[in-house]
Each structure stands twice: as structure tokens, then as C-alpha cells.
Amino acid sequence: MDATQVLAVLRGIRLFDEIPEQVLLLESVRALGEVKEQLRDGADESDPRVAQTAAALARYRLFCNMLEGGDRFSSYKAGDITIARDLKAEFELERQLRQQALLDAVPILKDGGFFVAVQ
């Protein structure tokens, strides 16, 4: 399992078409390192859930970075047409994708304790 597998997943996401490949690769390496660090003893590093989880973590961080960097817009007017995006809904979707990937990987990840999520 290496970062190029995570990078391949990120390249397939149109949301990141404008992001340089080097940035995607760096985030892939970072996320994969985090997942491997949290693997349970005896867990197989070649398990597909490793790459899937790393890709979900990288995707979430890249999305958040895009929001913080101002690369996203909430509305855009082109002539008589206004294109509007619901950034709150997009953020929630990205958060849910990350959470689902972490839930799917529970059997191979160390127990990190518990946390309280307030909504």
C-alpha cells in the first residue's frame, strides 16, 4: 500500500481538478501515514480499507483547505444566470463521507478512546 493508490482515488474526484498533483500527493502521503499509524497490531497494510480511509481523510482536508483558501464560491453570476452552491451542505457531505470511511475501518484501526459529538 502506498500513497499513489490514495492519489489515484483523489485524481478521480472532479472537485480537485484544479489542485496541483503535488498537493494531492502530499496530502495522500500525510493521510496514509496517519491511517498506518493507527492500524491495529496484526492488521494487513494492504487491506483496501487502508487506502479508502486515507483517501477519505485526504479528501476532507483538501475540501476544508479549499473553503479556507477562498477557492470555493457560494454564488457566481454570469450575465443573467446566477449559480449558487450550498457550502454548508457540501461540507456536511464531506464530513459524512469521512465519518463513514472511519466507521468502515473500525475493525482494522486501534481504538482511540471515545469522543462526544455535539450537534
Residue 113 confidence (pLDDT): 52
Q: Are 57 and 94 in contact (CB under 8 A)?
A: no
List the chain pLDDT tens, one digit each, 119 residues. 789 999 999 999 998 998 999 999 999 999 999 999 999 999 999 999 999 999 999 999 999 988 876 545 555 566 777 776 777 888 899 999 999 999 999 999 998 754 444 44
Q: Are 58 and 30 in contact (CB under 8 A)?
A: yes
Residue 15 confidence (pLDDT): 86
DSSP per-residue codes, 22-36: HHHHHHHHHHHHHHH
Residue 80 confidence (pLDDT): 75
Residue 115 confidence (pLDDT): 47
Q: Measuring CA to CA, which residue among 66, 61, 46 is closest to residue 95?
A: 61
Residue 77 confidence (pLDDT): 67
Buried b (16+ CB within 10 A) or exposed e, 86-117: eeeeeeeebeeebeebbeebeebbeeeeeeee
- For residue 110, the 8-state DSSP code is P
Residues linked to residue 14 through DSSP beta bridges, in sequence order: none
